[in-house]
């Protein structure tokens, strides 16, 4: 049985909450064992499997992040959501980015693939 639309929708909030908390294990718990992450889409790098995904996110969650989900849509097993995060690199340096993520979920409701859509023009 597939995950419900409500369970899939909740992934967006859980994902942003985990990034804000700097909780690597909570981020990884959202993903299936053989999941893929492409962030950003088109850069030529696809992180495949939990070990590669852990390596990718370990540097992300080490930063101080603020974030919010702006909009989310569930279609079947797909979750498309728009969010903004502000990353604080130090007390005088930060960047805000607007991103659309497409997460496809497996039968257990885990993220099987994540593709992040953004370019430098989406940063301020």
Mean pLDDT value of segment 59-65: 94
CATH of the domain at 48: 3.10.450.50
Query: CA 41 to CA 13: how far, in whole Å?
Result: 21
- Nearest Cα neighbor of 54 from 77, 35, 80 is 35
Q: Is residue 111 within 8 Å of 121, Cβ to Cβ?
A: no
Q: What is the pLDDT of residues 16-53, one digit of tens each?
A: 999 999 999 999 999 999 999 999 998 889 999 999 99
Active-site amino acid positions = 15, 39
The boundaries of the domain holding residue 48 are 5-122
Q: Kindly report the pTM of this predicted structure.
A: 0.94
Domain count, the chain: 1
């Amino acid at each position: 049985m597939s995950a419900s639309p409500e369970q899939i929708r909740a992934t967006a909030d859980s994902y942003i909450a985990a990034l804000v908390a700097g909780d690597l294990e909570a981020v990884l718990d959202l993903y299936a064992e053989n999941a893929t992450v492409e962030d950003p889409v088109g850069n030529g790098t696809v992180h495949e499997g939990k070990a590669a995904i852990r390596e990718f996110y370990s540097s992300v969650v080490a930063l101080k992040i603020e974030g919010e989900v702006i909009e989310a849509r569930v279609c079947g097993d797909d979750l498309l959501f728009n969010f903004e995060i502000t990353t604080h690199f130090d007390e005088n340096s930060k960047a805000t980015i607007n991103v659309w993520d497409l997460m496809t979920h497996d039968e257990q409701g885990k993220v099987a693939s994540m593709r992040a859509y953004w370019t430098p023009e989406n940063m301020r």
